[in-house]
Amino acid sequence: MALLHDGKDYLFQHYSIADILGSRVRQPKALSEEQLKVLIAALSKVSPSFNNPSAPKGLKALPGVEQEVADIKKQTTFSTTLINENFTSSRLEKELRQVFRYF
């Protein structure tokens, strides 16, 4: 919420806000296991991208990432994992293109 405050006022005080629901609100349906595809992307160690000038300062490797990735993989039938050296922007884009044809 602090991001919406400019030091004087909240952003929404200067703009009209309206909520519009569609004429039909459908109940959500759970995906079948065949429809559920998971892309897991993670870094468990420091990578060269940590030194990129646009990266936040003080980035450190997170502990337990590899165990979390393994736990997620156990719970899914169809998953793709990009971890450490395999987690590159080009590889991420390639994987996203396969799932989302228009990306």
Tens-level pLDDT at each residue, the chain (103 residues): 455 667 777 766 776 666 666 666 777 888 777 777 888 988 888 888 788 888 888 888 888 999 999 998 888 888 899 998 898 888 988 988 887 765 4
Question: What was the pLDDT predicted at 18?
Answer: 66
The conformation of residue 73, written as its DSSP 8-state character, comes to H
Q: Is residue 77 part of a domain?
A: yes
In whole angstroms, how far apart are CA 48 and each of 8, 33, 65, 86, 93? 40, 36, 18, 13, 18
pTM over 0.85: no
**Total of domains in the chain:** 1
Backbone angles phi, psi at 45, to 5 degrees: -145, 165
Determine the structural domain holding residue 81 and report its residue range. 32-103
4 has which bridge partners? Answer: none
CB 52 within 8 A of CB 25: no
Q: Is residue 13 part of a domain?
A: no
Question: What was the pLDDT predicted at 58?
Answer: 83
